[in-house]
Amino acid sequence: LKRIYVAERFENLRKESEQNITTKEGITERLNRSIQAEGIFSYIKSGMRYLRFRHRSMEKIVAEMKLLSFAINIKKLSNKMKSNKLGFIKYKETI
């Protein structure tokens, strides 16, 4: 005999999450996140010419990604400090 259970707390949190992401502010936040993530992966692949992992095990790949992320963040921070632009720029809707 199989049974299906519905987690009431999960359903409530899911509805709350959906309400949050469908607001005007939520849509802007989602847009910013997608733009930022896409840009950094493009930079890694084309700007750094980094197309393949150098290791095979998942543990080593995770370590490699952490080092890569750390290096990119240090480089970004250094460039921002040099140009005295330490703020965060967000996409703003023009309509």
Averaged pLDDT, groups of 10, the chain, 95 residues long = 90 94 89 75 81 87 90 88 77 62
Structure confidence at residue 60 (pLDDT): 92
**Rounded Cα–Cα distance for residues 17 and 11 (Å):** 10
CB atoms within 10 A of CB 12: 10
Contact yes or no for 64/72 (Cβ under 8 A)? no
Structure confidence at residue 8 (pLDDT): 93
Quote the pTM value: 0.49
Structure confidence at residue 28 (pLDDT): 86
Torsion of CA 76, 81, 87, 89, to 10 degrees: -40
Structure confidence at residue 77 (pLDDT): 87
Q: Domain coordinates of the chain in residue numbers?
A: 1-51, 53-87
- Residue 89, helix vs strand vs coil: coil
Structure confidence at residue 94 (pLDDT): 60
